[in-house]
């Protein structure tokens, strides 16, 4: 079997792959929200509570992708929600690429400054890289266009603004506490890169 078949449209759209990815992403989303539990409680107790939706970045990205898979699994039953589907797909791509790369970058930036990596860090590296890769692979099955991609990008930039204006950005390794300004610039730039990646992938998918 050719290796390229593993990311072909027929393979990705098979019921087995869709169900396998749906279950794994759903479990990862639940785990992600649990992972953010302490920060969510801290935000609830010490910040305006309307900031809560802006706190759990990666699990929300994973949730968008999980919902996007649901639309692929039941296209007929959910066909009347086409606009919602395309917005969720765009959000899934932009946020999965953005936070997948972001988390890996922060983990290794912390390690570069002396943070000791444990097995959970390597687990997060693998799972977050998978987030970015799977989102880009599935663009060929998604139906979002430029308008929905723009809306998804606007939401992600808004999330960046809330994170760094109100201090609800994801908790960083202690060695990076004095680098918040640099992390902020990297985060905002990565949002722009993720939008561009979503657009390039969309255009490439249309030519396949």
Distance CA 7, CA 143 (A): 17
Give the pTM: 0.94
pLDDT of residue 208: 62
pLDDT of residue 191: 98
pLDDT for the residue 27: 97
Q: Report the pLDDT value the prediction gives residue 189, as an integer from 0 to 100.
A: 98
| pLDDT given at position 6 | 58
Q: For the chain, how many helices (H) and strands (E)?
A: 8, 0
Its sign, for the CA torsion 59, 64, 65, 66, is positive
Ordered DSSP codes for 126-176: HHHHHHHHHHHHGGGG----HHHHHHHHHHHHHHHHHHHHHT-SPPPPGGG
For the chain, percent helix, then strand, then coil, each to nearest 5?
A: 85, 0, 15
pLDDT at 1: 45
Per-residue pLDDT of the chain (208 residues; tens, 9 = 90+): 454 555 678 889 999 999 999 999 999 999 999 999 999 999 999 999 999 999 999 999 999 999 999 999 999 899 899 999 999 999 999 999 999 999 999 999 999 999 999 999 999 999 999 999 999 999 999 999 999 999 999 999 999 999 999 999 999 999 999 999 999 999 999 999 999 999 999 999 877 6
Q: How many Cα neighbours within 13 Å face the side chain of 126? A: 5
Q: Phi/psi of residue 104, each to 5°?
A: -65, -45
Residue 49: predicted pLDDT:
96
Q: What is the pLDDT, as a whole number, of residue 161?
A: 98
């Amino acid at each position: 079997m050719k290796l390229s078949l593993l990311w072909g449209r027929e393979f990705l759209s098979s019921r087995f792959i869709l169900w396998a990815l749906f279950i794994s992403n759903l479990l990862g989303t639940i785990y992600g929200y649990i992972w953010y539990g302490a920060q969510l409680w801290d935000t609830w107790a010490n910040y305006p509570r309307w900031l809560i939706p802006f706190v759990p970045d990666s699990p929300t990205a994973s949730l968008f992708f999980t919902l996007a898979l649901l639309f692929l699994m039941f296209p007929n039953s959910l066909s009347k929600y086409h606009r919602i589907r395309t917005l969720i797909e765009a959000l899934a791509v932009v946020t999965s690429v953005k936070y997948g790369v972001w988390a890996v970058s922060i983990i290794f930036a912390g390690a570069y400054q002396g943070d000791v990596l444990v097995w959970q860090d390597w687990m997060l590296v693998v799972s977050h890289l998978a987030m970015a890769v799977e989102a880009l692979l599935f663009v060929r099955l998604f139906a979002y266009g430029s308008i929905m991609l723009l809306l998804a990008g606007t939401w992600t930039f808004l999330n960046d603004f809330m994170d760094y204006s109100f201090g609800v950005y994801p908790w960083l390794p202690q060695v990076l506490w004095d680098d918040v300004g640099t992390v902020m610039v990297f985060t905002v730039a990565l949002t722009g890169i993720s939008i561009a990646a979503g657009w390039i992938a969309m255009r490439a998918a249309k030519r396949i």
